[in-house]
Amino acid sequence: MHLNRFSSFLVRPSIKTIAEQSGVSKTTVSFVLNGRGNEKNISAETQKRVLDIAQRLNYQPNHLARSLSMGRSYTIGFVVPDISNPFFSKIARLVEHYAEERGYSVMVASTDEKPEKEQKILTAFTNRQIDGVIIAPTTELVSSKIANLPMVNFDRNFNDKDDNFVTINNSETANQLTQKLIGKGCQKIGLVGLSSFLPNINERIDGYKEALTNNGLFINQSLIIDVNTNLIKQDVESAIHQLLKEEVDGFLFLNNVLAAEGIWLVNKHYPQLIDKIKFASFDNLDVFDYAKPKVTSALQPGDEIARNCVEMLFKQIEDKEQSGSIRLSTTIIER
């Protein structure tokens, strides 16, 4: 055994310490501290004695030992492509909040949209015995499914079965955003998306196409651009140039990162066009509130997403019950 960091001058009290000092067995101490004293017929005096001593020693349970013994760590994982993306960090905050309410802690990690990194993270987390994971996956997660880890997907999903999945009405939202642009007079709308192999992104593209068709506009494949996640800066830049060469009069960005980057580039390279072109974006950003140009955006219900994810996960962990999928509505913010 290694020395732990307390042993040199201060030993963290364990239930053994309490047991010795109160003259009862470890078993009794464990029962009392877990509030099972009455159920287990421990007399009131003994219970009081144990509790007093625990308090006096400022006893804190070793959660690791507890977890090892119970096969439950009361810790969940939150795995996303990039925790510094405001969309994800807002949800992280809320997940943390709802998890804490139930005594769970949260480990986070970013996958960078890389399947190998995702796999590594999931392995590290399951080895740490997390009880479940909330994830915006980058790939199919087959091997973790096999390991039978309770899991809730959000934002995207690769399973054929729409199990344990929290998402938004992607195609409808894209349809509405496109409709707004058309309503503002746009006739030629460029779409800047990414990772079009992601189901949620595909739905967004479908919504966009639907809106065009409904309004008698052409679907022009050269106006639909798929950016490489690993080359966002460069790819968005060439997308902007290309689309403006095609003389688009509106942009639909499929997420906040693309929108922020794209708008910045239009500002930089084509300031004369900035007032003539309309912008719409999936995901809201706080700054859209005051920044120019005005951007029409789709606000995802972060709080509901987080709450549903946590609830679904706990349903799996605690009740061994699977959930179906939930599709939440976005709020279109017109500016």
24 binds DNA (CB under 7 A): yes
Q: How far is the CB of 50 from DNA (least distance, A)?
A: 9
Which partner from the list DNA, its own copies, none does 27 bind, CB cut-off 5 to 8 Å by kind? Answer: DNA
Q: Give residues with Cβ within 8 angstroms of 335, minimum separation 6.
A: 288, 294, 295, 296, 297
Contact 35, 54 (CB under 8 A): no
Residue with tokens 């997390």: 130
- Contacts to its own copies from residues 241-300, by CB under 8 A: 260, 263-264, 267-268, 285-287, 289-292
Q: How far is the CB of 135 from DNA (least distance, A)?
A: 24
> Which two structure tokens, joined as six digits, stand for 46?
């003994």
- Choices 36-44, 98-106, 197-205, 215-223 (CB under 8 A): range interacting with its own copies: 98-106
Among 46, 169, 242, 323, binds DNA (CB under 7 A): 46
Q: How far is the CB of 22 from its own copies (least distance, A)?
A: 21
Residue among 14 and 202 whose Cβ is closer to DNA: 14
Alpha-helical regions (H) of 161-278: 170-183, 199-214, 232-245, 256-269
- Choices 68-76, 100-108, 220-228, 308-316 (CB under 7 A): range interacting with DNA: 68-76
Which partner from the list its own copies, DNA, none does 34 bind, CB cut-off 5 to 8 Å by kind? Answer: DNA
Among 48, 52, 56, 65, binds DNA (CB under 7 A): 65
DSSP code, position 186 = -
Q: Rounded to whole angstroms, how far apart are CA atoms 226 and 271?
A: 24
Contact 83, 108 (CB under 8 A): yes
Binding mask 194-233 for DNA (x = CB under 7 A): ----------------------------------------
Binding mask 162-201 for its own copies (x = CB under 8 A): ----------------------------------------
Q: How far is the CB of 9 from its own copies (least distance, A)?
A: 8
CA angle, 304 then 307 then 311, to 5°: 135
Among 19, 92, 141, 177, binds its own copies (CB under 8 A): 92
Contact 281, 298 (CB under 8 A): yes
Among 109, 186, 194, 198, binds its own copies (CB under 8 A): 109
Of 296, 177, 204, 188, nearest to 244 (Cα)? 188
125 binds its own copies (CB under 8 A): yes
Residue with tokens 């900035």: 274
Among 8, 55, 58, 69, binds DNA (CB under 7 A): 69
Contact 333, 288 (CB under 8 A): yes
Of 161, 132, 140, 177, nearest to 319 (Cα)? 132
Size of the site for DNA (CB under 7 A): 32
294 binds DNA (CB under 7 A): no
Strands (E), the chain: 75-80, 105-110, 132-135, 151-154, 165-168, 189-194, 224-227, 250-253, 278-282, 295-299, 325-328, 331-333
- Using DSSP, state whether 61 is helix, strand or coil: coil
70 binds DNA (CB under 7 A): yes
Q: Rounded to whole angstroms, how far apart are CA atoms 107 and 78?
A: 6
Encoded amino acid at 204, one letter: R
Residue among 1 and 146 whose Cβ is closer to DNA: 1
Contacts to its own copies by CB under 8 A = 1-6, 10, 60-65, 67-73, 75, 82-84, 86, 89-90, 92-93, 96-97, 100, 105-110, 123-129, 148, 150, 260, 263-264, 267-268, 285-287, 289-292
